[in-house]
Amino acid sequence: MAKVKLTVAYDGTDFHGFSRQPGLRTVQGELEAAVCRICGTPYEVYGASRTDAGVHAKKQVAHIVLDERMQLPIERIGYALRMQMPRDIVVQDVSRVADQFHARHDAMRKVYRYFFATTRAPDVFRARYQMNVPVPLNDEAMRLGAVHLIGRHDFTSFCFAHAQQESKVRTLHSLEVVRVDEATLYLEVVGKSFLHNMVRILAGTLLEVGKGRIPPAQIQHILASRDRRAAGPTAPARGLTLWDIAYPSDCDAPVQELSS
Amino acid sequence: MAKVKLTVAYDGTDFHGFSRQPGLRTVQGELEAAVCRICGTPYEVYGASRTDAGVHAKKQVAHIVLDERMQLPIERIGYALRMQMPRDIVVQDVSRVADQFHARHDAMRKVYRYFFATTRAPDVFRARYQMNVPVPLNDEAMRLGAVHLIGRHDFTSFCFAHAQQESKVRTLHSLEVVRVDEATLYLEVVGKSFLHNMVRILAGTLLEVGKGRIPPAQIQHILASRDRRAAGPTAPARGLTLWDIAYPSDCDAPVQELSS
């Protein structure tokens, strides 16, 4: 038995999300098919974050539990997988990790960015990765609204109404509004875990604040109402990118000294 | 009669090139269809550069000759067109120009960039816009090779073998090899006009130089041979972007004072 950690990036546009679904093109499905092609037997690929259809990843992490059926040495799996992947998935790194490592359970912090194009003529080479909002956005108002969301709260108002998660309490470590240039602005949301559609509803609500339709101070009332209808619309998937996932240094480090 | 200049950008991936072709999705076809929808009658859109299938444009220029059938004021055509375009074409600017303006004939200088990703794990969000070359490239050797190509030459060796252009003599104003970062390198080629596939064959040949397969000094022999087979392969379309087109200031300036 050997545990292997994969770091992958993908353009989510042409995927029905991360999680395997019969008959649909998914990131997990493509990864598992490639692993199967290089070793001849199926292995499950466990992802840290089950990104929705259309959501991108600059850094997604997954693990595979290999056994003696894997003939390829671990140091060659990365190269072999890269040769197998379609252009919209890039396998960045493959490394041996401690047997206890679990991509999802051990994730300490996930970073998502939601990108807005804020000019009438957006960058066509970024159009797949951002929401086009051809009106000026008041990023200072968005920052004032965002402050109310940081910390531990019941985020029912910012959760897909039919979500299955029982507890709607989550902790936002940070929520920043960053203006890159005249044409681009993004939200950076950091937390350990999120509710269904939570980042996209946060983005859609702060967008209303940026447009002047919701005053920043109203965000605390939206939060307190615990009512999805009080918040803004769910911003489109294409603006959202899973940006980074952090692990405690002891379980994230490649373990070269262990033998299988 | 009123002449209008369009500045457009596009992601060429899903287009069969710029020029209209029956039954195929092209940039000219999409632009003409949108113009037809907003004014109810067909107008021809004349592009400055007929980019090939898969080639992108950060700045393409085109003109339209409008007549009394165009009911929309010129200052509203840009907005109306933007509302009509698919996400992979962005209409950046629409302006009135002098009646003698011609997008192709008046173009003084065209700038193309050819992008290479030079790491084993390229940026997935740039993968549609660059050629992935997962080996180190010697950019200094590429620069030494490029020097031989600058100036006025017979570029038969760097032209699609079955091209229809009679004279194969062209002038390269400049050809620079620019390293952006560890992962990215591009060629910037500047000239008034180019032969069929010329920039892609220049890129494919300098790539061989970068890989160490062709010595830089051999470029002058390749040029002198006037034989397409002496040069390297045609680099894939997706790495190429029409970056800019320059016009003499007198015919490029918006002409607001003229009435139609």
- CATH number for position A76: 3.30.70.580
Instruction: Report CB contact under 8 Å: A11, B92.
Output: no
Q: What is the mean pLDDT of chain A?
A: 92
Task: Say if residues B241 and B115 touch (Cβ distance below 8 Å).
Answer: yes
Q: What is the pLDDT of residue B254?
A: 53
**Average of per-residue pLDDT across A17-26:** 95
Residue A114 and residue A184 share a domain: yes
Instruction: Report CB contact under 8 Å: A124, B93.
Output: no
Gyration radius of chain B over CA positions: 20
Measure the CA–CA gap between B36 and B66, rounded to whole angstroms: 12
The verdict on residue A178 lying in a domain is: yes
Residue A255 has pLDDT above 80, yes or no: no
A72 CB-side CA count, 13 A: 18
Among the partner-chain residues B9, B120, B125, the one whose CB lies closest to the CB of A124 is B9
Enumerate the β-bridge partners of residue B60.
B8
pLDDT greater at residue A127 or residue A251: A127
Cβ–Cβ contact B58 with A under 8 A = yes
Residue A167 and residue A67 share a domain: no
Instruction: Report CB contact under 8 Å: B11, A124.
Output: yes
pLDDT tens, residue by residue, B86-130: 999 999 999 999 999 999 999 999 999 999 999 888 899 999 999
Q: What is the pLDDT of residue A121?
A: 86
Instruction: Report CB contact under 8 Å: B58, A125.
Output: yes
Q: Is A50 in a helix, a strand, or coil? A: coil
Residue B168 and residue B80 share a domain: no
**Could you tell me if residue A143 is left (phi over 0), alpha (psi between -120 and 50 degrees) or otherwise beta?**
alpha
Least Cα separation, residue A92 to chain B (angstroms): 5
Which DSSP state fits A117?
A: E
Residue B181 has pLDDT above 70, yes or no: yes
B interface test, pick of A90, A94, A123, A129 with most B CB neighbours within 10 Å: A90
Cβ–Cβ contact A128 with B under 8 A = yes
**Average of per-residue pLDDT across A135-155:** 96
The verdict on residue A158 lying in a domain is: yes
On the 0-12 / 13-18 / 19+ scale of CB atoms within 10 A, B188 is middle
Residue A244 has pLDDT above 90, yes or no: yes
**Average of per-residue pLDDT across A59-69:** 92
Residue B84 has pLDDT above 50, yes or no: yes
Q: What is the pLDDT of residue B48?
A: 96
**Average of per-residue pLDDT across A226-251:** 92
For the entire predicted model, the pTM comes to 0.89
Cβ–Cβ contact A14 with B under 8 A = no
Residue A187 and residue A91 share a domain: no
Residue B237 has pLDDT above 80, yes or no: yes
pLDDT tens, residue by residue, A99-109: 999 999 999 99
pLDDT tens, residue by residue, A177-198: 999 988 899 999 999 999 999 9
A258 CB-side CA count, 13 A: 15
Question: Which residue in B has a C-alpha nearest to residue A126's C-alpha?
Answer: B125
Strand bridging mode A56-66 / A240-246: parallel
Cβ–Cβ contact A117 with B under 8 A = no
Residue B51 and residue B120 share a domain: no
Least confident window among A87-96, A112-121, A251-260: A251-260
Q: What is the pLDDT of residue A122?
A: 87
Residue B136 has pLDDT above 80, yes or no: yes
Least confident window among A40-54, A98-112, A116-130, B68-82: B68-82
CB atoms within 10 A of CB A80: 17
**Average of per-residue pLDDT across B57-69:** 93
Q: How many CB pairs under 8 A join A and B?
A: 66
Q: How far is CA B8 from the centre of its chain?
A: 12
The verdict on residue A259 lying in a domain is: no
Cβ–Cβ contact A11 with B under 8 A = yes
**Average of per-residue pLDDT across B17-31:** 96
Measure the CA–CA gap between A254 and B53, rounded to whole angstroms: 43
Cβ–Cβ contact B123 with A under 8 A = yes
Which DSSP state fits A192?
A: S
The verdict on residue B204 lying in a domain is: yes
Strand bridging mode B131-132 / B56-66: unpaired
Residue B118 and residue B205 share a domain: yes
B196 CB-side CA count, 13 A: 11
Least Cα separation, residue B10 to chain A (angstroms): 6
For A249, the enclosing helix (H) or strand (E) is helix A249-252
The count of domains in chain A is: 2
* Chain A residues within an 8 Å CB radius of B131: none
* Burial state string for A160-172 with b = 16 or more CB within 10 A and e = fewer than 16: beeeeeeebebeb
Q: What is the mean pLDDT of chain B?
A: 92
Least Cα separation, residue B233 to chain A (angstroms): 21
Cβ–Cβ contact B9 with A under 8 A = yes
Question: Which residue in A has a C-alpha nearest to residue B56's C-alpha?
Answer: A125
Range of the domain at A142: 109-244
Measure the CA–CA gap between B47 and B62, rounded to whole angstroms: 4
The verdict on residue A253 lying in a domain is: no
* Chain B residues within an 8 Å CB radius of A122: 90
Cβ–Cβ contact A62 with B under 8 A = no
Instruction: Report CB contact under 8 Å: A88, B56.
Output: no
Q: What is the pLDDT of residue B258?
A: 39
Q: What is the pLDDT of residue B70?
A: 79
Residue A216 has pLDDT above 60, yes or no: yes
Task: Say if residues B106 and B247 touch (Cβ distance below 8 Å).
Answer: yes
Structure token pair of residue B66 = 């409008």
Q: What is the pLDDT of residue B75?
A: 86
Residue A131 and residue A73 share a domain: no
Residue A33 has pLDDT above 80, yes or no: yes
Residue A169 and residue A97 share a domain: no
Among the partner-chain residues B82, B125, B134, the one whose CB lies closest to the CB of A129 is B125
Measure the CA–CA gap between A231 and A32, rounded to whole angstroms: 38
Cβ–Cβ contact A258 with B under 8 A = no
For A35, the enclosing helix (H) or strand (E) is helix A27-39
Q: What is the pLDDT of residue B106?
A: 95
Task: Say if residues A94 and A80 touch (Cβ distance below 8 Å).
Answer: no
Residue B74 has pLDDT above 60, yes or no: yes
Residue B83 and residue B50 share a domain: yes
For A81, the enclosing helix (H) or strand (E) is helix A74-84
Residue among B87, B16, B56, B58 at smallest CA distance from A13? B87
Question: CATH number of the domain that B240 lies in?
Answer: 3.30.70.660
Confidence tier at A222 by pLDDT (50, 70, 90)? very high
CA dihedral A179, A180, A183, A187 (to 10 degrees): -50
A139 in active site:
no
Spatial CB neighbours of A231, under 8 Å, sequence gap ≥ 6: A157, A158, A201, A204, A205, A222
Instruction: Report CB contact under 8 Å: A124, B91.
Output: no
Measure the CA–CA gap between B154 and B131, rounded to whole angstroms: 27
Residue B230 and residue B121 share a domain: yes
**Average of per-residue pLDDT across B31-41:** 91
- Where does a domain end: A106, A123, A148? A106
CB atoms within 10 A of CB A19: 15
Main-chain phi, psi angles of B97, to 5 degrees? -130, 170
Residue A146 and residue A91 share a domain: no
Q: How far is CA A199 from the centre of its chain?
A: 9
Confidence tier at A258 by pLDDT (50, 70, 90)? very low
Instruction: Report CB contact under 8 Å: A121, B92.
Output: yes
Residue B255 has pLDDT above 60, yes or no: no
DSSP string, chain B: -EEEEEEEEE-GGGSS-SS--TTS--HHHHHHHHHHHHHSS----EES--PPTT-EEEEEEEEEEE-TT--S-HHHHHHHHHHHS-TTEEEEEEEEE-TT--TTTT--EEEEEEEEE-SSS--GGGGGGSEE--S---HHHHHHHHHTTSEEEE-GGGS-TT---S--EEEEEEEEEEEEETTEEEEEEEES---TTHHHHHHHHHHHHHHTSS-TTHHHHHHHHT-GGGS-PPPPGGGEEEEEEE--HHHHS---S---
